[in-house]
Amino acid sequence: MQSRLYECYGYRISCTAPEEADAVVTRLFGDPVPAAADPPATAVRLSVSVTGSDAAPVAPPYFPSGWDVLDEVVIEVGSSRATVTPGNWTVRVELARSDLANPIVWGRWLTEKALLILTLRSDRHYGLHAGALTVGGRSALVTADSGVGKSTFTAWGLFQGAEFAGEDAIMRHLDQPGGLFWGYPRCAYLSAELVGTRPELAGIPAAPVPARDKYRVEWPDAFAHRLRPAVRPSTLLVLTREHTLTRPLGTDAAIDRCRDDFAAGKSDPEVLSRVERDLRRQLAGMAILEFGLSPDLDANYRRLVSVLHDRPPQENRQ
């Protein structure tokens, strides 16, 4: 067994895993961080073991039963499982040998979900159903209801030269100053159509998500220099398909749009109040916009650049 330090979603991950799981750990987290690096306020202890289970994997519920109240939360996928203990920030992954090549199991269903559960159960962290992009040094958080097109919008930004910090879940650590929001930039969940039509994605690791028209895509090395673990956003975009305009949105309206996200797992009213105050403080320094998507992905990106840098889009200039 080897023990190494990694970072993910702004957490320091102390990971113990056998040699045969090295490839899985590297694909999840990338290179280890130096042991001498200043640790963040919160560390996660992750242990990975490999078992001989030959059961077929099955898709678990979006959240396992009791995820918000149990002392131990078990994510069971038939072949493999993860046990999450929020009280001491530990995750135990029992990975079937037959799942070592299945990133949906060890990525989407187990490790990514376990880190999300830890965040939502914490009284010092919260999550947003959002992605993040940076263009020319200015960053936007991008949120939307499921199915609107957030994943495509953020991936298209990466294709066009933006820096990318994730497209599905963004974490905020209340104890960290400076307005940082942390993402998971190493992969994205994209439609089959997008994966099949972008030359940049030809031949890269892409695993279909059962029962969904999505693929878990691991970005190729050519994008590595534009993948960012965290952003300090100047703008919040709330995507919609109800129109194709860019409209100012009030802070209260934005809070209401995000409430189901940041309130998840926060059963203590005092904790929920503290989390909402923090999000309001972050939004106070941002432009908040309802951003209507058009079918033209390139035009949407040009508008993103325009709003980040406070200038009218090229096609609207006189």
Q: What is the mean pLDDT of each run of 10 residues along the chain (318 residues)?
A: 92 96 96 73 90 88 95 96 97 97 96 98 97 97 95 97 97 91 97 92 91 91 96 97 96 97 97 97 95 97 94 41
- In this structure, the answer to whether residues 153 and 291 fall within a common structural domain is yes
pLDDT attached to residue 35: 72
Q: Out of 76, 95, 122, pick the residue that ends a domain.
A: 122
Beta bridge partners of 195: none
- CATH code, domain with 189: 3.40.50
Residues 6+ apart with CB under 8 A from 254: 236, 238, 283, 288
- In this structure, the answer to whether residues 273 and 247 fall within a common structural domain is yes
- In this structure, the answer to whether residues 110 and 133 fall within a common structural domain is no
Reported as a single tens digit per residue, the pLDDT across 132-144 is 999 999 999 999 9
- In this structure, the answer to whether residues 173 and 228 fall within a common structural domain is yes
306 three-state secondary structure: helix
pLDDT attached to residue 294: 96
How many Cβ atoms sit within 10 Å of the Cβ of residue 39? 14
- For 35, the token pair is 């042991």
Total domain count, the chain? 2
DSSP 229-261: SEE--SEEEEEESS-S-EEE--HHHHHHHHHHH
Q: Out of 122, 140, 162, pick the residue that ends a domain.
A: 122
- HSE-up of 258 (CA within 13 Å, CB side)? 34
204 three-state secondary structure: coil
Q: Which structural domain range is residue 287 located in?
A: 127-316
pLDDT attached to residue 318: 26
Tell me if 84 sits within 8 A of 118, measured CB to CB.
Answer: yes
pLDDT attached to residue 213: 84
pLDDT attached to residue 37: 60
CA distance 45 to 115: 11
4 three-state secondary structure: strand
Q: Out of 122, 138, 157, pick the residue that ends a domain.
A: 122
How many Cβ atoms sit within 10 Å of the Cβ of residue 245? 12
- In this structure, the answer to whether residues 13 and 66 fall within a common structural domain is yes
- In this structure, the answer to whether residues 159 and 278 fall within a common structural domain is yes
- In this structure, the answer to whether residues 85 and 193 fall within a common structural domain is no
Q: Do strands 81-85 and 73-76 pair parallel, antiparallel, or not at all (unpaired)?
A: antiparallel
Q: Is 79 left (phi over 0), alpha (psi -120 to 50) or beta?
A: alpha
CA distance 216 to 268: 34
- In this structure, the answer to whether residues 220 and 272 fall within a common structural domain is yes
pLDDT attached to residue 313: 46
- In this structure, the answer to whether residues 262 and 306 fall within a common structural domain is yes
- In this structure, the answer to whether residues 249 and 297 fall within a common structural domain is yes
- In this structure, the answer to whether residues 136 and 84 fall within a common structural domain is no
CA distance 270 to 258: 18
> What is the torsional sign of CA 108, 110, 111, 114?
positive
- In this structure, the answer to whether residues 87 and 208 fall within a common structural domain is no
pLDDT attached to residue 36: 61
CA distance 115 to 290: 29
